[in-house]
A = this chain, B = another copy of it.
Amino acid sequence: MLIEERLKELHEKIKRKVPKGITVASVEFEGPELVIYTDDPKSFADQDDLIKILARELRKRIVVRPTILEDPERAVTAIKEVVGDNAGITDIFFEQDTGEVLIEAEKPGVVIGKNGATLRDITKEIGWTPKVVRTPPIESSTVKQVRQYLRAAHQERKELLRRIGRRIHRDVIAKDQWIRVTTLGCCREVGRAAFLLSTPESRILIDCGENPGNSTSTPYLYVPEIHPLTQLDAVVLTHAHLDHCAYIPLLYKYGYTGPVYSTPPTRDLAAMLQLDYLDVMNKEGNTIPYSSNEVKEYIKHSIVINYGCVTDIAPDIKLTFHNAGHILGSAIAHFHIGDGLYNVAFTGDIHYGKSRLFNAATNHFPRLEALLMESTYGGAGDMQPPRAEAEEKLYSIISDVIGRGGKVIIPAFSVGRSQEVMLAIEEGIRLEKLPKMKVYLDGMIKEATAIHTTYPEYLNSDLRNLIFKEGLNPFLSDCFEQVDSPDKREKVITGDPCVVITTSGMLNGGPVMEYLRSLGSDERCALVFVGYQADGTLGRRIQKGWREIPIGNRETLVINLECFTVDGFSGHSDRRQLMNFVSHMQPKPEKIFTIHGEESKTLDLASSIYKKYHIQTMAPMNLETYRLV
Q: Mark A residues whose CB is within 8 Å of B.
A: 176, 178, 180, 182, 200, 220, 222, 224-227, 621-627
- Are B180 and A623 in contact, with the CB atoms below 8 A? yes
Which chain B residues border A622 with CB–CB below 8 Å? 178, 627
Number of copies of chain A assembled together: 2
CA distance A621 to B180 in the complex (A): 11
Which chain B residues border A625 with CB–CB below 8 Å? 182, 225, 623-625
Distance (Å) between the CB of A559 and the closest chain B CB? 32
Which chain B residues border A626 with CB–CB below 8 Å? 624
Which chain B residues border A200 with CB–CB below 8 Å? 222
Q: Which of A180, A623, A626 has the most CB of B within 10 A?
A: A623
CA distance A176 to B214 in the complex (A): 14
Please give 10 more A-B residue pairs, beta carbons under 8 A apart, in addition to A176-B220, A178-B622.
A180-B623, A224-B227, A225-B225, A227-B227, A621-B627, A622-B627, A623-B625, A624-B624, A624-B626, A625-B625
Q: Which of A222, A227, A621 has the most CB of B within 10 A?
A: A621
CA distance A625 to B623 in the complex (A): 8
Which chain B residues border A624 with CB–CB below 8 Å? 180, 624-627
Which chain B residues border A623 with CB–CB below 8 Å? 178, 180, 625, 627
CA distance A615 to B621 in the complex (A): 19
Which chain B residues border A180 with CB–CB below 8 Å? 623-624
Which chain B residues border A220 with CB–CB below 8 Å? 176
Distance (Å) between the CB of A220 and the closest chain B CB? 8
Which chain B residues border A182 with CB–CB below 8 Å? 625
CA distance A176 to B623 in the complex (A): 12
A-B pairs with beta carbons under 8 Å apart, 21 shown: A176-B220, A178-B622, A178-B623, A180-B624, A182-B625, A200-B222, A224-B224, A224-B225, A224-B226, A224-B227, A225-B225, A225-B625, A227-B227, A621-B627, A622-B627, A623-B625, A623-B627, A624-B624, A624-B625, A624-B626, A625-B625
Distance (Å) between the CB of A314 and the closest chain B CB? 16
Look across to chain B and name the residue whose beta carbon is closest to the beta carbon of A182.
B625
Q: Which of A222, A226, A624, A625 has the most CB of B within 10 A?
A: A625
Distance (Å) between the CB of A204 and the closest chain B CB? 14
Which chain B residues border A627 with CB–CB below 8 Å? 621-624
Which chain B residues border A178 with CB–CB below 8 Å? 622-623
Look across to chain B and name the residue whose beta carbon is closest to the beta carbon of A628.
B621
CA distance A232 to B173 in the complex (A): 28
Look across to chain B and name the residue whose beta carbon is closest to the beta carbon of A180.
B623
Q: Which of A180, A182, A224, A225 has the most CB of B within 10 A?
A: A224
Distance (Å) between the CB of A14 and the closest chain B CB? 36
CA distance A224 to B626 in the complex (A): 15
Which chain B residues border A224 with CB–CB below 8 Å? 224-227
Which chain B residues border A222 with CB–CB below 8 Å? 200
Which chain B residues border A227 with CB–CB below 8 Å? 224, 227
CA distance A220 to B626 in the complex (A): 15
CA distance A178 to B224 in the complex (A): 14
CA distance A220 to B177 in the complex (A): 12
Distance (Å) between the CB of A503 and the closest chain B CB? 30
CA distance A625 to B625 in the complex (A): 4
Look across to chain B and name the residue whose beta carbon is closest to the beta carbon of A220.
B176
Which chain B residues border A226 with CB–CB below 8 Å? 224
Distance (Å) between the CB of A578 and the closest chain B CB? 24
CA distance A225 to B222 in the complex (A): 11
Look across to chain B and name the residue whose beta carbon is closest to the beta carbon of A620.
B627
Distance (Å) between the CB of A356 and the closest chain B CB? 41
CA distance A85 to B623 in the complex (A): 63
Which chain B residues border A176 with CB–CB below 8 Å? 220
Distance (Å) between the CB of A224 and the closest chain B CB? 5
Distance (Å) between the CB of A396 and the closest chain B CB? 46
Distance (Å) between the CB of A143 and the closest chain B CB? 38
Look across to chain B and name the residue whose beta carbon is closest to the beta carbon of A176.
B220
Look across to chain B and name the residue whose beta carbon is closest to the beta carbon of A226.
B224
CA distance A220 to B199 in the complex (A): 13
Distance (Å) between the CB of A604 and the closest chain B CB? 18
CA distance A626 to B627 in the complex (A): 11
CA distance A222 to B198 in the complex (A): 13
Which chain B residues border A621 with CB–CB below 8 Å? 627
Which chain B residues border A225 with CB–CB below 8 Å? 224-225, 625
Distance (Å) between the CB of A344 and the closest chain B CB? 15
CA distance A182 to B625 in the complex (A): 8
CA distance A312 to B579 in the complex (A): 50
Q: Give the 7 A-B CB pairs with smallest separation, nearest first.
A: A625-B625, A621-B627, A224-B224, A624-B625, A624-B627, A224-B225, A623-B627
Distance (Å) between the CB of A269 and the closest chain B CB? 31
Distance (Å) between the CB of A452 and the closest chain B CB? 39
Distance (Å) between the CB of A185 and the closest chain B CB? 12
Distance (Å) between the CB of A622 and the closest chain B CB? 7
CA distance A220 to B590 in the complex (A): 26
CA distance A178 to B176 in the complex (A): 30
Distance (Å) between the CB of A571 and the closest chain B CB? 30
Look across to chain B and name the residue whose beta carbon is closest to the beta carbon of A187.
B627
Distance (Å) between the CB of A227 and the closest chain B CB? 6
CA distance A625 to B187 in the complex (A): 14
CA distance A224 to B625 in the complex (A): 12
Distance (Å) between the CB of A188 and the closest chain B CB? 10
CA distance A624 to B618 in the complex (A): 14
CA distance A622 to B625 in the complex (A): 10
CA distance A358 to B627 in the complex (A): 38
